[in-house]
Structure 1
Amino acid sequence: MKVEFAPLNIPLARRLQTAAVLQWVFSFLMLAQVCVGIFVLLIIYNYWFLYIPYLTWFYFDCRTPEQGGRRSHWIRSWTVWRYFKDYFPIHLIKTSDLDPSHNYIFGFHPHGVLVAGAFGNFCTNYSDFKKLFPGFTAYLHVLSIWFWCPFFREYLMSCGPVSVSKKSVSHLLSKEGGGNISVIVLGGAEESLDAHPGSFTLFIRQRKGFVKMALTHGAYLVPVFSFGENELFKQVNNPEGSWLRAVQEKLQKIMGFALPLFHARGIFQYNFGLMPYRKPIHTVVGCPIPVHQTENPTPEQIEELHQTYMKELQKLFDEHKGKYGIPEDKTLIFK
């Protein structure tokens, strides 16, 4: 295989975009482990004056990820995130106005490999979110395990993510006066194993907890589809029934997160590496589905709203797929 190297005369802006995405990929894949390793070393070498105060802080702060987190406007405004957004680039598209007197659940699809669209649109100040949805604050929900990693949790929260636990979602949707948006990647880790280019498989049929939360709090549901999310990486072929898929699913059940064997391009060449391809991401926010608050929803009410949500998600995909180069015969596959 002939390696295709990047030309030397690439503009500085594109090099900075590559550097921005490189640090993001490193943060996503390795920073938590590095932070845990540093903390372990502090204990091994008995730097008690560092780890004792931190453990004390951790004890009193451990509930923060379930109580709206602790975002930092300064960190969300780092110039690195502008270069990150422009690398792909990432776009946010609104199809309907939202009433800021309500709280909402954005169901984000698909998960993709590293959820770049969700991060770029809802965890930085360089997306068009504030311009398109004035009066709202969006909270991206991520796996709770990340908030148990010392040091890493502070960095993660500073960008805006919060825990995906029921307590966390309930806390945000209980806000009086509205204005909160819970962004939940509904397919979760399991869906990332099907994040192949050209794939539109969504794990949604058994995901009904978000519907119950919406009914309990009277939060409106909004389907969101991120076109291009699955085009950023390629995966080692792992069809259902293969030994690789069996191992991945087993590990996912044990650890709570999946391990897709993905690859794309490198930093200085285009043939192999862990850098995502420069593929545009268009995150389209659909129309809200009104929800009447029901403190103790019945299974029938949950199922009815769940069916309505899937129909609206399919409708959103069908109405916009042609704009982003998806063939007319392609459709969503619900699992």
Structure 2
Amino acid sequence: MRIRFAPVRIPLERRLQTLGVLQWVFSFLVLAQCCLAAFVLLLLTNYWYLAAIYAGWLYLDRETPGRGGRRSVWIRNWPVWRYFRDYFPITLVKTADLDPKHNYLFGFHPHGVLVAGAFGNFCTEATGFSRLFPGLTSYLLMLPFWFRVPFFREYIMCGGLVSSEKYSATYILSQEGGGQVAVLVVGGAPESLDARPGALTLRVLGRKGFIKLALKTGAHLVPVFSFGENELFNQVENPPGSLLRKVQERLQKVMGLALPLFHARGVFQYSFGFLPFRNPVHTVVGKPIPVEKNCSPSREDIETLHKEYLDRLVGLFEDHKSKYGIEEHSHLVLIE
């Protein structure tokens, strides 16, 4: 394989953008393991009592990730996130006003490999979420496993990440006065196994728990499609039924985490590595679907709202695909 090296002379701005994305990839793939190792090493030193005190804090604070977390405006506005945004770049597109008197459940599609669009738009202020949607506070739902990792949990909560457990989303969407937005990546980790350039496969047909949640809380549903999300990484071929796919799906069921074998570019060369490609990501927030609170929704209620949501999602994609480089004959593939 011929290696394409990056030019020696590159503007400082682009170097800073690469650095911003490098720290994000590091945080996503390695930081949790480093935090856990630091905690264990602290236990083995003369300062073990500090780890013991922190362990006590973890117990006392165990409910926080399911109670809205502990966001930090300062961290969400770090300059590094602007460089992260401009690397791709990532753009947040508003199609309708959202009344802050209501709570909203955003259904984010597709998952992609590392959910760059969801993080950049809803865990930082780099794309101007608070400016575009005044009066709204966004929370991105994340697997509860990560909130059990010492130190790492504190960092991710600062960005507005909260546990994806049912009671966590219910807590956010049941807040009186409105203004709360729970962002759920509907396809979940399994959808990342289909994430590769050109892919338009969404795991949504069998996902109805979020519909029931919206009905029980009265939160308005908003479909969100992130154009370019699947173009950021290549992935080793793993068609359904292949040995690799079976292993990945088995690990996902056991561990709760999907393990896509992805690759893209490096820091000083463009041929291989774990940095995403510099492809634009346009995250389009659709129009809200009003939902009346129903504490005991029937199966018919859920099916009816689910169908309306799918129609809105497909319509959102069709209305905007030509603007963001999707060929006219391309359509979404909805699966279980």
Indicate whether the TM-score tops 0.5: yes
Distance in 2, Cα, partners of 1:42 & 1:6: 40
**Following the alignment from structure 1 to structure 2, what is the Cα–Cα distance between the partners of residues 151 and 310?**
39
Distance in 1 of aligned mates of 2:280 and 2:242: 31
Partner of 1:200: 200
Q: Is the 8 A contact 2:109 2:225 kept in 1?
A: yes
Which residue does 1:128 correspond to in 2? Answer: 128
CA distance in 2, matches of 1:200, 1:116: 17
Q: Partner residue of 2:83?
A: 83
Summarize the alignment of residues 144-183 of structure 1 with structure 2, pairs less than 5 Å apart: 144-183=144-183
Q: Please list every run of at least 4 consecutive aligned residues from structure 1 whose deviation after the TM superposition is greater than 3 angstroms.
A: none
The residue number in structure 1 matching 2:213 is 213
Q: How many Å separate the matches in 2 of 1:48 and 1:3?
A: 47
Q: Distance in 2 between matches of 1:318 and 1:240?
A: 26
Q: Which residue of 2 aligns with 1:312?
A: 312
Q: For residue 48 of structure 1, report the CA deviation from its aligned partner.
A: 2.4
Separation of aligned partners in 2, 1:80 and 1:240? 38
The 1-side partners of 2:321 and 2:128 are apart by: 21
Q: Deviations over 1:69-116 (max 9, x none)?
A: 001111111111110011000000011111111100000000000000
Cα distance, 1:247 vs structure 2: 0.3
- Secondary structure of 2:10's aligned partner: coil
| Unaligned runs of at least 5 residues, structure 1 | none
For 2:124, the aligned partner's letter is: T
Q: Which residue of 1 aligns with 2:297?
A: 297
- Separation of aligned partners in 2, 1:51 and 1:27: 22
| Partner Cα separation in structure 2 for residue 84 and residue 58 of structure 1 | 31
Determine the structure 1 residue equivalent to 2:236: 236
C-alpha deviation, 1:46, in angstroms: 5.5
The corresponding residue for 1:323 is 323
Alignment deviations for residues 187-236 of structure 1 (CA, whole Å, 9 cap, x no partner)? 00000000010001001111111100100011100000000000000000
Equivalent residue runs for 1:1-335 within 5 Å: 1-45=1-45, 47-335=47-335
Residues 136 and 180 in structure 2, CA contact (< 8 A), matched pair in contact too: yes
CA distance in 2, matches of 1:225, 1:125: 19
> Share of identical aligned residues, percent?
63
CA apart distance, 1:177: 1.1
Secondary structure of 2:182's aligned partner: strand
Measured after TM superposition, the shift of residue 47 of structure 1 is 2.8
Q: Please tell me whether the aligned partners of residues 43 and 49 of structure 2 are also in contact (alpha carbons under 8 angstroms).
A: no
* Cα distance in 1, alignment partners of residues 265 and 226 from structure 2: 21
For 1:207, the aligned partner's letter is: R
SS in 1 for 2:321: helix
Shift of 1:49: 2.0
| Residue 132 of structure 1, CA deviation | 1.1
Matched residue SS, 2:93? strand
Q: Distance in 2 between matches of 1:120 and 1:264?
A: 19
C-alpha separation in 1, matches of 2:134 and 2:10: 37
Residue 127 (structure 1) shift = 1.4
SS of the equivalent of 1:193 reads helix
Q: Is the 8 A contact 2:123 2:159 kept in 1?
A: yes
Q: Could you say what secondary structure the match of 1:284 adopts?
A: strand
Gaps of 5+ in 2: none
Larger CA deviation: 231-240 vs 299-308? 299-308
- 1:269 Cα deviation after fit: 0.5
Distance in structure 2 (CA, Å) of the matches to 1:211 and 1:332: 20
Secondary structure in structure 2 of the residue aligned to 1:91: strand
Task: Tell me the alpha carbon deviations over residues 289-322 of structure 1, each in whole angstroms, 9 at most, x when there is no partner.
Answer: 1111100101111111011101110000000000
CA distance in 1, matches of 2:31, 2:96: 37
String of CA shifts for 1:145-170, please: whole Å, max 9, x gaps: 00000000001111110111111101
**Aligned partners of 2:166, 2:287: CA distance in 1, in Å?**
24
Amino acid at match of 1:3: I
Query: Could you say what secondary structure the match of 1:279 adopts?
Result: coil
CA distance in 1, matches of 2:240, 2:46: 48
Question: In the comparison of the two structures, how many residue pairs are matched?
Answer: 335
SS at match of 2:194: coil
